[in-house]
């Protein structure tokens, strides 16, 4: 059974204070790791897909990296508009059903 653990559960940053969110996973044959952003009262919005260890993806202030056991979402010089819940999900061999972590709630103070 696939397992995904995200940490920390909640993170408060000052504007401009860089940090990282962690997504640890246990799967039998990773086929894809996905990062999403969710604003309050909205559906999650897709950010990145990572398929193999060593892969990196970037978008504005966000950078996602992947190893064989975990993924990091690095946030560089965050702004208040980056405040949201960030969700991580994995899909493994033979299943097209993503398993989600519980998310990290990020608040960036001006």
Partner 1 sequence: DGGITQSPKYLFRKEGQNVTLSCEQNLNHDAMYWYRQDPGQGLRLIYYSQIVNDFQKGDIAEGYSVSREKKESFPLTVTSAQKNPTAFYLCASKPGGYSPLHFGNGTRLTVT
Q: Does 94 bind partner 1 (CB under 8 A)?
A: no
* CA distance to 32, 35, 56, 70, per residue, from 91 (Å): 5, 12, 18, 14
Contact segment (CB under 8 A) with partner 1 among 12-20, 57-65, 66-74, 92-100 equals 92-100
Produce one character per residue of 22-45: b if its CB has 16 or more CB atoms within 10 Å, e if not: ebebebeebeebbbbbeeeeeebe
Q: Which of 15, 16, 28, 42 binds partner 1 (CB under 8 A)?
A: 42
Q: Does 79 bind partner 1 (CB under 8 A)?
A: no
Interaction site with partner 1 (CB under 8 A): 31-32, 34, 36, 41-46, 49, 51, 87, 89, 91, 96-98, 100-103
């Amino acid at each position: 059974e696939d397992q995904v653990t995200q940490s920390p559960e909640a993170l408060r940053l000052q504007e401009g204070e860089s940090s990282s969110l962690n997504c640890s996973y246990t799967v039998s044959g990773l086929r894809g790791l996905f990062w999403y952003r969710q604003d309050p009262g909205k559906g999650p919005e897709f950010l990145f897909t990572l398929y193999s260890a060593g892969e990196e993806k970037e978008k504005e202030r966000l950078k996602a990296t992947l190893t064989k056991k975990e993924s990091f979402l690095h946030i560089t010089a965050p702004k208040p508009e980056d405040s949201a819940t960030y969700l991580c999900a994995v899909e493994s061999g033979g299943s097209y059903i993503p398993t989600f972590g519980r998310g990290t709630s990020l608040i960036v103070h001006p």
